[in-house]
Structure 1
Amino acid sequence: MNVGKTLFAQVMEYVPWKTFGRIIDRHGGDAGVRTLDCADLFRVMAFSQLTWRESLRDIESCLSANQGKLFHMGLNGVPARSTLSDALNQRDWRIYHELAMRLIRRARDLYAKEPTGLGFDATIYALDSTTIDLCLSLFNWAPFRSTKAAVKMHTLLDLRGAIPAFIHISDGRMGDVNILDILPVEAGAFYVMDRGYLDFGRLFKLHQTGAFFVTRAKRGMNAQRMYSTKTNRSTGVICDQAIRLNGFYVSKDYPEHLRRIRFKDPESGKTLMFLTNNTTLPPLTIAALYKSRWQVELFFKWIKQHLRIKRFLGTTENAVKTQIWCAVSTYVLIAIVKKELHLNASLYTLLQILSVSVFEKTLISCALQPDTAGISADEQTYPKTSCCGKKGCPLYNSGRII
């Protein structure tokens, strides 16, 4: 890779630009566009995410201060605030949704062999949603309550690498359980969710596709025990039962047996009751599966803290969704860079380094290593301890690059 490129340009090389161009053409995204096309808008939004810009004026000022370096970013000039605002409102958000899904597929392939830590190789998904509060007078297209607006991010998180496999953005009034109607289901995979998704009719459809679910039972659930499996109560498992749902309608919604596990958490002392359609895994593994659901909560907390999705650069639905999908694309892009370059640093560390060095002309593989972040490009290419950098040096002639 050319060390003369800025770090931002090197990160952008991991974007599948040819595929992105076909997506743009399919939606006619650049039809009639004279300045700041769809690709340039993504570069600007990715820049704002990586450098923590929080307003249109902030983006314009920062780019103006580094105007001589914009060519190396792939930009022809500094976009005016009005131009950027118009682009957010007019460029179809579905373009950036498709780009994000393309990056997600690539990231999931890279992280496919990551261990789950649960002792089996099945794919495990955690399903949940997070609410982003908005002002009702400005975002009246996203009603939530009588005095508040909001958007919801319904997220299906692949626990291998914490990569979101599916995201649906809705207004705040959409119930969590409704996402099960449009959720892509993979046979043999485990879907871990909380009690908000307990709808037996929808869960039975998921069961019929060959997938497994793990959730918690609600209080007062009307069910009849069919038989029990012997358990060791010293492990915290109180009972492991096969049950049949009572009630005329609910028994028609889920006509087959369910597995009910009552477990006492040794850490909190709380007694939890799990429901699943898997009959083979040990009860402690089912409890560990549900505990792993917390990773989706950590994912929401992480992106709200480290990506710009709580303050929006536009008030229209298109602008909000464009900014969210560009944020998701940036998150997944950094995860791809981390895996492709075999970096040990966390995503948080990588974002911190990039936030202050996007204009540096340094090898990305060296710059994103915390112990070499302050070393110049020449020293990273030919360290003094191993090569003098002269053509007569045998290490130079051998082409060794650290």
Structure 2
Amino acid sequence: MKKFTMFSQILQSVIPQEEIAPLINEIGYVDKARKFTVYDLFLFLAQASIEQWKGYRDGEARMGKSGLQIADHSTISKKAKEVPYQLFKELLHLLIRKCNRATKRKLRIPKELLAVDSTKITVGKGRLPWAPLKGERSGVKLHVALVIDQGNLHRVTESTGNSPDLVHAPEVIDPSFVIVADRAYGKHEMFDKYESAEKKQYFLIRIRDNTILHDPTPRKRKAPFKGTIERDITCQLGVKKTRTKKRFRVVTLKDPEGNPVILATNLHKPSAENIAEMYKKRWQIEVLFRWIKQHLNVPKLFGTTPNAVYGQLYTALLVYVLMKLVFEKGNASVHASAKLTFAEFDRLFELDKLPSEWLVLLTSFLKMRP
């Protein structure tokens, strides 16, 4: 069995057609098609992502070889415009819920780390007139929360490319985790809200280098700082009008180029060195963004309407979640000598050179459920 045909069958075993029907009803869409249904569109978009098809026309020529229902490119395009993208967003979060599992706590923190950030997909100005950017470009954003130690998606939402990240933060953050984020999320008034919320939101967020640190008080410690740590204090943040009501911990360190990195947090038990290590793990979400753009065809937007664009992007993210699910189940089942990293699994899958033990496992996966 060819790798991509196998992928399609695994997708259908994990999210069968009967699971989509209730979601279609919930969003109020009536699927009148007999030959190319909503489920066929879903399978097409997933296959286009994993095989990196160039567009609807290219997919029309290749979908038959992947075991998909053959349709004219104009039919596919029309369907992609009609089907509300919220369906694909719900399917992504459905698969995320299927993949949830408990993990060990690390670094002596009260909860797991959740990296929050956004990635922008840009095209020419005339391509997406409803999502203009500065200059001759247009584009959209995906706002993502990633469980760092697992590398698993947690929540995702969408916006046009000029929408501020902080506006969409409430849609992806979760008080069950410690959120780790860059400067785009470092608004001082949000820190007070996180601290005083009914369910406290722990955070570790980089703040701007010119942030005013009011009434700084050094934290007590028995040993000198290690590594690049320079300062560990508590203070109020900001000038008088925007100053935080509560005091927060601020850890200052240097990046590899010697530039200051100033981190604000409401975590008090971890050492300054552990705070620095926690923030470094935020890089995993950048790795995710790079991976999906290189491997899942994300920069090549097929359609021009919100339904077509976001439907394609949410399906691409679903493909990532499915690949991670297959990888994790595989590594938990194969012999120690056949275990792989996710990068190795992805490369060997792409080259159609997975070890025989993995091929047997993938075949058996068709009869499994997550």
TM interval, shorter chain, is 0.7 to 0.9
Tell me the TM-score normalized by structure 1: 0.79
- What is the DSSP-based 3-state SS (H/G/I as helix, E as strand, rest coil) of the residue aligned with 1:249? coil
Kept in 2, the 8 Å contact 1:237–1:263? The answer is: yes
Which residue number corresponds to residue 367 of structure 2? none
Kept in 2, the 8 Å contact 1:258–1:277? The answer is: yes
Distance in structure 1 (CA, Å) of the matches to 2:153 and 2:191? 21
Deviation at 1:374, TM superposition (A): 10
| Aligned 1:160-199 pairs, distance under 5 A | 160-187=149-176, 189-199=177-187
Unmatched 5+ stretches in structure 1: 358-368, 382-402
Residues 19-74 of structure 1 deviation map (CA, whole Å, 9 limit, x = unaligned): 3221122224343223311111111111212222122222111134x3xx73xxxx
After alignment, is 94-103 or 271-280 more displaced? Answer: 271-280
Which residue number corresponds to residue 340 of structure 1? 329
Which residue number corresponds to residue 366 of structure 1? none
Distance in structure 2 (CA, Å) of the matches to 1:310 and 1:283? 39
Deviation at 1:320, TM superposition (A): 0.3
| Aligned 1:1-400 pairs, distance under 5 A | 6=6, 8-64=8-64, 66=65, 70=67, 75=68, 77-109=69-101, 112-113=102-103, 115=104, 118-120=107-109, 122-187=111-176, 189-209=177-197, 210-231=200-221, 232-245=224-237, 247-251=239-243, 254-265=244-255, 267-341=256-330, 342=332, 344-352=339-347, 354-355=349-350, 370-372=354-356
Deviation at 1:237, TM superposition (A): 2.7
Kept in 2, the 8 Å contact 1:48–1:59? The answer is: yes
Q: Which amino acid aligns with 1:86?
A: K
Q: Which amino acid aligns with 2:14?
A: Y
Distance in structure 2 (CA, Å) of the matches to 1:182 and 1:163? 17
Distance in structure 2 (CA, Å) of the matches to 1:311 and 1:116? 38
Distance in structure 1 (CA, Å) of the matches to 2:189 and 2:157? 21
Kept in 1, the 8 Å contact 2:195–2:202? The answer is: yes
Distance 1:203 1:36, change over 3 A: farther
Distance in structure 2 (CA, Å) of the matches to 1:215 and 1:184? 13
Deviation at 1:354, TM superposition (A): 5.0
Unmatched 5+ stretches in structure 2: 365-370
Residues 134-182 of structure 1 deviation map (CA, whole Å, 9 limit, x = unaligned): 1111210111114210111111111132122121211111012222344
After alignment, is 230-239 or 79-88 more displaced? Answer: 230-239
Q: Which amino acid aligns with 1:345?
A: L
Deviation at 1:205, TM superposition (A): 1.6
Deviation at 1:351, TM superposition (A): 4.5
Q: Which amino acid aligns with 1:201?
A: E
Kept in 2, the 8 Å contact 1:116–1:159? The answer is: no
Distance 1:351 1:238, change over 3 A: closer
Q: Which amino acid aligns with 1:100?
A: L
Residues 295-335 of structure 1 deviation map (CA, whole Å, 9 limit, x = unaligned): 11111001000001111121111100110011111111121
Distance 1:183 1:326, change over 3 A: closer
Q: Which amino acid aligns with 2:212?
A: N
Distance in structure 2 (CA, Å) of the matches to 1:33 and 1:41? 11
Deviation at 1:250, TM superposition (A): 1.4
- What is the DSSP-based 3-state SS (H/G/I as helix, E as strand, rest coil) of the residue aligned with 1:155? strand
CA RMSD of aligned residues (A): 2.6
Distance in structure 2 (CA, Å) of the matches to 1:374 and 1:31? 38
Kept in 2, the 8 Å contact 1:312–1:320? The answer is: yes
- What is the DSSP-based 3-state SS (H/G/I as helix, E as strand, rest coil) of the residue aligned with 1:96? helix
Question: Which of 1 and 2 has greater Rg?
Answer: 1
* Amino-acid identity (%): 23
Kept in 1, the 8 Å contact 2:146–2:285? The answer is: yes
- What is the DSSP-based 3-state SS (H/G/I as helix, E as strand, rest coil) of the residue aligned with 1:370? coil
After alignment, is 304-313 or 195-204 more displaced? Answer: 195-204
- What is the DSSP-based 3-state SS (H/G/I as helix, E as strand, rest coil) of the residue aligned with 2:261? strand
Distance in structure 2 (CA, Å) of the matches to 1:18 and 1:34? 16
Distance 1:226 1:55, change over 3 A: closer
Distance in structure 1 (CA, Å) of the matches to 2:73 and 2:346? 25
Q: Which amino acid aligns with 1:31?
A: D
Deviation at 1:203, TM superposition (A): 2.4
When the two structures are aligned, how many residues end up with a matched partner? 348
